[in-house]
Every structure is written in C-alpha cells, then in structure tokens.
Structure 1
Amino acid sequence: MANHISNFFYFFVILATIATVQYSTVEAGTCTSIFNRCDDIDCSSHCQSAHGTLGVSWRCDLFNLCTCTFNQDPSSNNLCRIGMGTCYQDECDQSCCNAKCAGTYKEGFGSCIPNQFTKDRCVCSYRS
C-alpha cells in the first residue's frame, strides 16, 4: 500500500510540473493588439477570427477601441500594442507615456497618438 501511495505521489508531482510549465509558456506569450472602434465592428468575433484558438479575451478600451488579448509565439518579432490611457500636455506628455510603458512592459516604449475626437492616447508597444 505504501508503495502505491509513493508512486501516486511521484506521478502527481510530475503532472503538476508539466501543468506549471504549460501555464508559464502561455503566460510568457500573452500579447494584445488594437483594432477599430467597437461600435464599427463586433469585437468578440473580430478577435476570434484574427487570433483563432490563440485568442484569450477581448475588451473595448477607454477610447472604445477593440483590444484583443492572445497568446503569441515567443519567437515572433511582432510587437504587441495596448492603450495606456491619455496623453495630456500638462500632465502626461510623450516622455511620461514612454516611461509608463517602459515601467510596465519589458522592452516597452510609448507613443502619444493623436485622436481627432478626444485627448491623445498613450499607446504602448512591447514584446511578449
């Protein structure tokens, strides 16, 4: 009986290790991309068609832009992009936006993108 328990214990440890490695692999490649306005497209369907089984989630951001979250191959050279709020001339300018991105994402850099309807937005580009 003790032999069966120890064999089961080792099996459980191996299984838990494999699950942890799989979970870490998925998390390491998490990426986001920004698309059209949510009132112009069906964000959920768009993310699913753009990323298929790699898609994790979607949301409409502060500027009502469709933002897809998906798992990207870590060896990919594609940049991920996500909105980091607004760029205000007197509160958060280009250097502030860049600092927010660099502090949040590894190899992240920010750009203030002009928006004709509202304040400029801070968009962060990063590698997953």
Structure 2
Amino acid sequence: MARFFHYALFIFAAVAVMELLVEAAVCSREIGACAESCDDICRSKYPEGGKGACQDDNCVCFFECGIEKRCNVGLGRCSSQCSESCCAAKCAQKDPLGQGYCDGSLGPQNVLCQCSYDCS
C-alpha cells in the first residue's frame, strides 16, 4: 500500500510540474498613449505572442514574461536639482520606453539615477 502511495504521489507531482511549465506568466508594459495601432505595435515589439490593449488612455502590451531582456544604465546622481521626474526624463532621452528612477540602495548620500530599458 505504501508503495502505491509513493507512485501516486510521484505521478501527481510530475503532472503539477508539467502544468506549471506550460502556464507561462504574463507581463505587461505601458508603451504610450492609446491608439488604434496599439495591438500592432505590441505585436511588432513582442512578436512571440504580444497583445496590446488600451487601459485608461494608455497602450499596454501583454507578453510572456522572460522574453524581454532588460538593461540598466546609470545616468548620474539624483539630487534636489534632478529628482525622480528629471531622472525619468533623462532615461526617456536614451530610450522612449525606458523607465528612469532614483535608486537609493547604496545609501542616502549615493542616490543614483538608473535607467531600465528593453535591450532584446
């Protein structure tokens, strides 16, 4: 009886793992203002199943997580003269879809402007 239980448990675990591998997580990314071409833009940016939809006047791409390669680059220090909005603007100059943010993980004296962008 114990042997049967172990086999049944093994089969159940194998099926559960296969289901997890088949179901890929879906990521989303806002790419700008909503337009009729939103779905086409997303399909061109994520040709392996990207879909676009308008949400709150923004075009949002939905795609399988993991197909997008993210790169980060430092754009100087954040300060009272250049805070979050300034950092985001610097990043947008590098890549219109980049996400700029002030990263204070190195301490309050070393807050750096980081730019994360798609480099796939």
* TM-score normalized by the length of structure 1: 0.38
Larger relative helix fraction = 1
TM-score, normalization by structure 2? 0.40
